[in-house]
Structure 1
Amino acid sequence: MAESGGLTSPAFTGADDIRRRLDELDYLVDDGTAAALFFALSLGRPLLLEGEPGVGKTTAAKALARALATPLIRLQCYEGLTAGEALYEWNYQRQMLAIRLAEARHDRLNDADLFTEDFLQERPILQAVRHRGPQPPVLLIDEIDRADDEFEALLFEFLGEASITIPELGTFTAERRPVVVLTSNRSRDLHDALRRRCLYHWIDFPAPERVVEILRRTVPGANEALIRSATDFVGRIRRFDLDKAPGMAETIDWVSALSSLGATELVREDVLRTLSTVAKTLDDREVITAALDQLT
């Protein structure tokens, strides 16, 4: 049951337009990320975003969906993720009910009667393929590196052709390619075959001036001195051998916590009271605490 496919029409005039539109949504991107998003849209190719946790990979997909005024469909990956949870599965309860009703009528159902669209349950990827609307959806395949190696092979047809083959029904191909964003924290290596099907971009921790601008927007109650000193503090923390270097999410939480205490500058007591927002393991807390004398 094939449907006609096609490339995504560019919704932006260029990378500068993407950066401007995302800026209006308070999501600040650098030139490289803006260009990667634009190429993914204009070429109709999936985009693989890698980077340390907390640099804004997931938020990029969310902001792009908002800028396009289109639905965000999210597939959160984890170990043991199956095709039935990601692509599609059959509604076995409805199938059993149909069989019992047929038996009550002294009818007999065969496989062709049971494996029809009436019994098909769409999961995120099939939902993206069959989406109808003025804009294709943004499909976020989040933390693909957390899924098993075998799961990647299930994505090859979809990533390459924007289609899914269901043996009982045939091949479904998107009318217009979904905007596909995959994210990875590099907890394991991804297959070359998956990388081949995607454009690629590495998102680094934002530069200090961009961190300051993000904090101005997300924590408007914090004063300039606190924002700048907190930005510098987090930048120096990241040079330590930490289990989990603080990203933007942790930085925003930390400055929000400091601001809620009425802090206008960094002092040791306030840092210790709010350390749970930036130190996510006991070892990290001990490392940061031991270095506080030289950091504040």
Structure 2
Amino acid sequence: MPATPPHPAFGSVEDVAERFAAHGYIPDRRLATTVFLQTRLDKPVLLEGPAGVGKTELAKTLAAVTGRRLLRLQCYEGQDESRALYEWDYGKQLLYTQMLRDKIGDLTADAPDLATAVRRIEEQDSVFFSDRFLAPRPLLDAVRGEQPAVLLIDEVDRADEALEAVLLECLAEYQVSVPEVGTYTATVPPYVVLTSNNTRDLSAALKRRCLHLFLDYPDAERELEILRAKDTGLSEATARHLVRVVRGLRELRLRKNPSISETIDWARTLAVLGVDELDPRVLADTANVVLKYERDLGRALDVLPSLVDPNRTLPEPGHHHPHHNGHHQPHHNGHHDHDHIGHHDHDHNGHHDHDHEVDGRVIRAAMDQQGRHDENYYGAPGPGPAARPTPGAGQGARAFAAVTRRRAD
């Protein structure tokens, strides 16, 4: 009997929205429709968009709402497919080798000739690469597991294109082929959610197998509704004011925009401090909750007064605000921004970076490009072996070679 999910399937798009909202995730109509179609069509869904808009959280909530177990494959540059599909349990295989060495005499004791003895030993080769020695990784576990699953393939854009090719079979047929054993096909197809921060373009073959949805920052009302659902402890009026401030920050040329989760953290921070009404001073003291780069923080401190009170008059160009470390902060006044070390920003290569010419988000995207490190960089994948051994055959040969050497001793 095939396993069935412990919770009923979604009855409608509205049912998706209601059940997600009950778990604190507020989807818009388009997102709720995509999730409903995913569960009805048994197709993976690819979520693309900036970091911090709820892509990963959607998969977690989908698992909670449906009662399925969550399996997560976190992608990274240089990732080997064995980390995604399966590995052989070398410890068990080594133990089996030891057992075979002890029993090899019994296996061949009554063999009439050498050929028969060799054939009996060869028959044990298949045991080395059988299901009992297979260590499943997220993809195989999602397909072979007895319990229905939600498979989250997170930040697939950071993986190499070779791993994309490995994913295609699983995404299209919900199956994984193990050359030494056979093909595993899911009894209950997993719900597959892929996320991408758009650091590179994904292949057309991968996109073709998925429903696609671009997630952007929500509008003001939905972001406020998310704050309500998270029970941050901030009053309604203050939460609404905070959402307006955050949306104003996102309009700046920041290296990293405040995410939804960081907005929630900021609201909780202000609630812990007992803030009933927003003012520039308290926001400046806590802006590091949502702004993680010093230059972004400097820009924000200049405009926070106007974001809190749109009728407030900003300082004249050339006037500098004090900062906690005593340095001057940059201004949006048509002149070059000044950072803490001179008149221009310097990147890691020592080149000048004029803020009015280069968007910080462009710099961030360039830093996320794959292959940017050479083989001498710590953690870089490097050139790897000159030739990759044939899976299975090389492992079995090494195991039986060990038996033969011990036998000879």
TM-score (norm 2): 0.68
Q: 1:127, 1:98 → 2: CA distance? A: 24
SS at structure 2 position matched to 1:106 = helix
Q: Which runs of 5+ in 1 are unaligned?
A: none
Residue 278 of structure 2: aligned partner: 266
Of residues 104, 124, 144 in structure 2, which corresponds to 1:130? Answer: 144
Q: Which one-letter code corresponds to 1:122 in the other structure?
A: P
* Matched pairs, number: 287
Give CA-to-partner distance per residue, 1:189-225, whole Å, 9 cap, x none: 1011100110101112111111112112213421122
Of residues 174, 182, 185 in structure 2, which corresponds to 1:173? Answer: 185
Are 2:206 and 1:194 aligned?
A: yes
Q: Which one-letter code corresponds to 1:69 in the other structure?
A: G
Are 2:67 and 1:52 aligned?
A: no
Q: Which has the higher contact order (CA 8 A, sep 6+)?
A: 1
Q: Label 1:20 to 1:232 Cα distance change in 2 as closer, same or farther (>3 A).
A: same
Residue 62 of structure 1: aligned partner: 60
1:163, 1:173 within 8 Å by CA — same for their partners in 2?
yes
Are 2:291 and 1:293 aligned?
A: no
SS at structure 2 position matched to 1:121 = strand
Q: Which one-letter code corresponds to 1:242 in the other structure?
A: L
2:176, 2:184 within 8 Å by CA — same for their partners in 1?
yes
SS at structure 1 position matched to 2:104 = coil
Residue 40 of structure 1: aligned partner: 38
More off after superposition, 107-116 vs 266-275: 107-116
Q: 2:57, 2:125 → 1: CA distance? A: 43
Larger gyration radius, structure 1 or structure 2: 2
1:26, 1:214 within 8 Å by CA — same for their partners in 2?
yes
More off after superposition, 100-109 vs 232-241: 100-109
Alignment of 1:1-296 (within 5 A): 11-106=9-104, 108=121, 110-133=124-147, 136-296=148-308
Q: 1:234, 1:171 → 2: CA distance? A: 50
2:279, 2:305 within 8 Å by CA — same for their partners in 1?
no
Q: 2:258, 2:288 → 1: CA distance? A: 11
1:219, 1:252 within 8 Å by CA — same for their partners in 2?
no
TM-aligned CA deviation for residue 266 of structure 1 = 1.5
Give CA-to-partner distance per residue, 1:7-31, whole Å, 9 cap, x none: xx98112211101111111211000
Give CA-to-partner distance per residue, 1:32-69, whole Å, 9 cap, x none: 00001111111110000111111111111111111111
Q: 1:161, 1:27 → 2: CA distance? A: 30
SS at structure 1 position matched to 2:199 = coil
2:232, 2:271 within 8 Å by CA — same for their partners in 1?
no
TM-aligned CA deviation for residue 124 of structure 1 = 0.6
Q: 2:85, 2:285 → 1: CA distance? A: 45
Q: 1:217, 1:18 → 2: CA distance? A: 16
Q: Which one-letter code corresponds to 1:83 in the other structure?
A: E
SS at structure 2 position matched to 1:129 = helix
Q: Give RMSD over aligned pairs.
A: 1.7
Q: Which runs of 5+ in 2 are unaligned?
A: 106-120, 309-409
TM-score (norm 1): 0.93
